[in-house]
Structure 1
């Protein structure tokens, strides 16, 4: 009995080892995620400074006259035609009065020339009648040749006088046209003494000073309609994705998010920085000012697609793949991946919505491996 007990006790460790070796191995635990259909966006980063969409410079259109009044300041919103400043009108008013007088004199010259034509025409009519009578008398022998010659000369002189009077009328009309132009210029110069806004907008700069005589520099600078937009730098590799009209989300320093749209795509690329400059029109928001820094995104595409966590897509020299889990087994799928959006990767081909995939560490498994999902 003692020997039997000893034999049984020696066999116990061996039986335990056999039982342990026969137990099935535990399946690895993996984190699963579901392929879902949702919205995905393609975005291009942009950054730059705010600028005026259209800057308008206001100059004095008449020179040599001092500024006597300023009626607009930086920051003012003005309408088209609103007076911004005034110039001295003393000399301009006198020039207009002189031009008016010259015009009236030219009009009188027209009347005088017309009277001279009428007088010359009457003289010519009389000379022609006398010549005809004298010719008749000469044919009947009742007038001498000398008298006939005098009548011929008188008729010729009257005809020349009529021609000269007609030419005088042309000169008088030219003088009237010249006087009319001079009067119009004088009126325009007097009107230009009031410096007005050519468009509605916001005054952003003023160099006009009381008592100064304007030179070649602009007296005021306006932003037409107050429109401010982003002049944004775009990397050259993203230029082909941009299309005018694309939506944009821009963060403006001190103001926060502002919506906008791409107005102009870059027409050229800087050979040094490899950046192109785009123009993004921004929604009107109080506080937009030229010079503010802004950055954000241009949304070049927005669509629905099947997506998985970005970490679930494995890529190497052979291509891209995803570890799909079906009935507790790994099924390695070749896929065609697209955009990354908010931590998820677009799957164009290879995985359907609703399938479970290994979210992380999929590279450690091969097709056919058994796994179990983490709780």
Structure 2
């Protein structure tokens, strides 16, 4: 037992110096780390102080730095007043064609939709067998009346030669003259009746009232037609088309007959030139809209009943044009900022016009030679100095 205690004392004596050396190393490393951190902090603090000092030296004495704004000298531009609308295509002058005469059984139909026809051209024929017989009978009556007239005239001529010799009385001459006149009258009646029958027979043919394009056909051979059958054909006079576009009352005020237009049918990118030929004199009290009619030349792509859009060039105006970002508004009205000779902001009241793809038209307040602030106007105050960045408007 005494031996064990001695061994334990020897062991404890050797371990104590080792632990002391270990703590010395840990303490030394900790001191080195703390010193390194302190040195790094001192270096960073010095750099920040130098930076703050340089910024303070660069800052103007009056306070914060002046803002930079984009400015431009707009000049004046010619703007086109464009009115857009949509509507339906139709024949400019549509001609409904029906039966003008007595009617009957249709024997032939000579045209199809899309056919071009001339004035008076036959579109369909109606059976005229009975009417032909009547016309032949009247023609024979004319020949009989002509023969009676020749006989009456010959008898009158002979009587006039004999009256001088006293072989015939003056009363006989009067009777023969009256007989000749009656024969002439009967001939005229027969001729008038024959002409009337011929006219009626011609009306049996369904004819085009004017040259144009056949749009629809609603009759077939064998069909019985009469004056009550309604419309058998529809035609576009001269093939002329139009777009009937609904426009607001304010837009109609800008239009007049003769202004140019561009029409684009739905389903195609092709544009057709035209011109407004009529502006509606009446406004719908419910919708506050009216109709502008745009005349178009014939093209197969322009189909009546189709839908199309229109771009109407209603006129032009020369004015200062600014982007919308340059125009500000408040309780006092619309205004812009311009820069004076000292690059200080000046508030200028303006009168605005139409808003187009190019910008806002300024109709009053600017001459076009000012330096106008295009952006950041909402953050400026009158008299505030700025740094201008001059740009050129397109």
**TM-score scaled by structure 1?**
0.78
1:8-23 to structure 2, matched below 5 A, reads 22=61
Q: CA deviation at 1:334?
A: 2.9
2: distance between equivalents of 1:18 and 1:63?
107
Verify the 8 A CA contact 2:117 2:208 in the aligned structure 1: yes
1:66 match: secondary structure: strand
Q: CA deviation at 1:119?
A: 4.7
2:355 maps to what in 1?
340
Match of 1:168 among 179, 189, 213: 179
Match of 2:292 among 253, 257, 278: 278
1:301 maps to what in 2?
315
Cα–Cα, structure 1 residues 287 and 21, in superposed 2: closer, same or farther, change >3 Å?
closer
2:110 maps to what in 1?
71
Does the alignment pair 1:241 with 2:280? no
2:282 maps to what in 1?
268
Match of 2:328 among 309, 314, 319: 314
Structure of larger gyration radius: 2
Match of 1:35 among 43, 55, 74: 74
Cα–Cα, structure 1 residues 255 and 175, in superposed 2: closer, same or farther, change >3 Å?
farther
1:51-70 to structure 2, matched below 5 A, reads 51-70=90-109
Does the alignment pair 1:199 with 2:220? no
1: distance between equivalents of 2:183 and 2:131?
26
2:196 maps to what in 1?
185
1:149 maps to what in 2?
none
**5+ long unaligned stretches in structure 2:** 1-48
1:144 maps to what in 2?
none
How many residue pairs get aligned? The number is: 334
**5+ long unaligned stretches in structure 1:** 1-11, 131-154
Q: CA deviation at 1:218?
A: 2.7
1:135 maps to what in 2?
none
Greater RCO (Cα-Cα under 8 Å, separation 6 or more): 1
Q: Using the TM superposition, name which of 331-340 and 242-251 deviates more.
A: 331-340
1:211 maps to what in 2?
222
1: distance between equivalents of 2:375 and 2:175?
108
Cα–Cα, structure 1 residues 197 and 44, in superposed 2: closer, same or farther, change >3 Å?
same
Q: CA deviation at 1:18?
A: 9.2
Q: CA deviation at 1:212?
A: 1.7
2: distance between equivalents of 1:361 and 1:98?
98
- 1:88-118 residue CA offsets vs partner (Å, 9 max, x unmatched): 2422332221121111112122222223433
1:365 maps to what in 2?
380
2:4 maps to what in 1?
none
Verify the 8 A CA contact 1:33 1:308 in the aligned structure 2: no
Q: Using the TM superposition, name which of 186-195 and 215-224 deviates more.
A: 186-195
2:19 maps to what in 1?
none
Cα–Cα, structure 1 residues 261 and 359, in superposed 2: closer, same or farther, change >3 Å?
same
2: distance between equivalents of 1:322 and 1:22?
30
Verify the 8 A CA contact 1:40 1:339 in the aligned structure 2: no
Q: CA deviation at 1:210?
A: 0.9
Verify the 8 A CA contact 1:35 1:352 in the aligned structure 2: no
2: distance between equivalents of 1:53 and 1:269?
21
2: distance between equivalents of 1:269 and 1:23?
63
Q: CA deviation at 1:348?
A: 3.1
1:211 match: secondary structure: coil
**TM-score scaled by structure 2?**
0.75
Q: CA deviation at 1:187?
A: 2.8
Verify the 8 A CA contact 2:101 2:226 in the aligned structure 1: no
